[in-house]
């Protein structure tokens, strides 16, 4: 059985995502621009995780009645593993967003709107990438080895250059936009475009939005192949990926003020990428079960978070003494 996804399931899930995004847009309009507090971000993070797990429970129940307990257990575990992988790798995306917003001095009250449109664009892009990936894997099995090598190489690169801060002034997309578009130097509240003297100008908000989409596209090149390492079912790749992305905005506001506390998390993410890449390369030699893969990814994530918190506490008093 290649995929449990049917046109009805895809349509139903797409409608669910549209409804959730519509609620998000309505809330943004009614609440207006405001700084998202840690409490609000934590609440929404819990809500998004709860929705994702509720879908998993329904998914298991649906498959149990249609295909039996064994298939239901297997597919639900694949979904959970894919969700955890995407959720963990998305943390690196959040760190880049923090750098972007700091570089462009985006007012805290306007960040929510940028990220909502960014998530919307990310969903569309990822749907296309997953579709292309599924087509390639269906035609060429050896693509898995290409994905595996790419993930292994990316993990090693991240491990070696994890402390390197990106130089946004040299970003080719930013340089192209500055050279080919009329851009205002100041923000015009939440507007992406304004008209001045009869001409349309892009605002820094639009520039940030484009860079948010570009960074997500780059990170999707890592995370989507990583989930294909767990399951070849495009429906599971699609649903687990999209649910993780839907909660990404709340994760940003939760971690924005605590990024320094999780300074070792990037090393953990690099090791996760290397593990998944090795798993894909060894697929025909030794198959690691989905349950074991889920446990290993969760353990690496837990250890990197714990190590970050421990070292942060140890360095905290020293940093204070210096002042």
Instruction: State the burial class of residue 170 (Cβ atoms within 10 Å of its Cβ: 0-12, 13-18, 19+).
Output: exposed
- What pLDDT does 240 receive? 95
CB 273 within 8 A of CB 150: no
- What pLDDT does 52 receive? 96
How many other CB atoms are found less than 10 A from the CB of residue 60? 19
Distance CA 319, CA 323 (A): 7
Paired tokens of 272: 């996760």
- What pLDDT does 82 receive? 92
CB 89 within 8 A of CB 225: no
- What pLDDT does 322 receive? 47
Paired tokens of 222: 């890592």
Query: Which residue, among 315, 312, 248, has the nearest Cα to 95 in the 3D structure?
Result: 248
Helix (H) or strand (E) holding 196: strand 193-196
- What pLDDT does 221 receive? 84
Chunked mean pLDDT (size 10), the chain, 323 residues: 84 95 88 80 92 96 93 94 90 85 88 90 92 87 86 86 71 90 88 88 93 88 86 93 92 79 83 89 82 89 88 61 47
- What pLDDT does 7 receive? 92
Long-range CB contacts (< 8 A, 24+ apart) of 310-316?
311/263, 311/264, 312/260, 312/261, 312/263
Provide the whole-model pTM: 0.86
- What pLDDT does 1 receive? 45
Paired tokens of 256: 């924005």
CB 261 within 8 A of CB 308: yes
- Paired with 183 in beta bridges are 202
CA angle at residue 109 from 125 to 266, to 5 degrees? 55
Residues in the chain: 323
- What pLDDT does 316 receive? 57
- Judged by DSSP in three states, 172 sits in helix
CB 51 within 8 A of CB 17: no
Paired tokens of 87: 């959720």
């Amino acid at each position: 059985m290649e995929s449990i996804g049917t046109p009805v399931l895809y349509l139903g899930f797409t409608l669910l995502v549209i409804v959730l995004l519509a609620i998000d847009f309505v809330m943004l309009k009614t609440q207006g621009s405001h700084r998202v507090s840690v409490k609000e971000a934590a609440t929404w993070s819990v809500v998004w995780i709860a929705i994702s797990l509720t879908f998993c429970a329904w998914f298991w129940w649906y498959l149990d009645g249609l295909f039996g307990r064994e298939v239901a257990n297997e597919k639900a575990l694949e979904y959970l593993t894919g969700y955890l992988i995407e959720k963990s790798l998305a943390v690196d995306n959040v760190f880049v967003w923090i750098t972007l917003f700091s570089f462009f001095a985006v007012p805290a009250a306007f960040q929510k709107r940028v990220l909502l449109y960014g998530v919307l664009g990310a969903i569309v892009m990822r749907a296309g990438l997953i579709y292309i990936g599924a087509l390639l894997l269906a035609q060429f099995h050896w693509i898995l080895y290409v994905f595996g090598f790419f993930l292994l190489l990316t993990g090693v690169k991240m491990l070696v250059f994890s402390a390197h801060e990106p130089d946004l002034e040299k970003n080719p997309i930013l340089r192209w936009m500055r050279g080919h578009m009329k851009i205002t130097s100041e923000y015009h509240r939440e507007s992406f475009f304004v008209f001045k003297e009869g001409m349309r100008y892009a605002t820094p908000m639009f520039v940030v939005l484009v860079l948010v989409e570009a960074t997500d596209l780059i990170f999707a090149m890592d995370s989507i192949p990583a989930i294909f390492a767990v399951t070849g079912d495009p429906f599971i790749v699609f649903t687990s990926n999209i649910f993780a992305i839907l909660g990404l905005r709340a994760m940003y506001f939760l971690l924005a003020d605590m990024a320094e506390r999780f300074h070792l998390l990037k090393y953990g993410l690099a090791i996760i990428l290397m593990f998944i890449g090795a798993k894909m390369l060894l697929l025909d030699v030794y198959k690691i079960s989905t349950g074991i893969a889920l446990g290993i990814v969760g353990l690496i994530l837990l250890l990197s978070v714990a190590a970050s918190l421990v070292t942060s506490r140890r360095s905290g008093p020293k940093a204070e003494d210096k002042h």
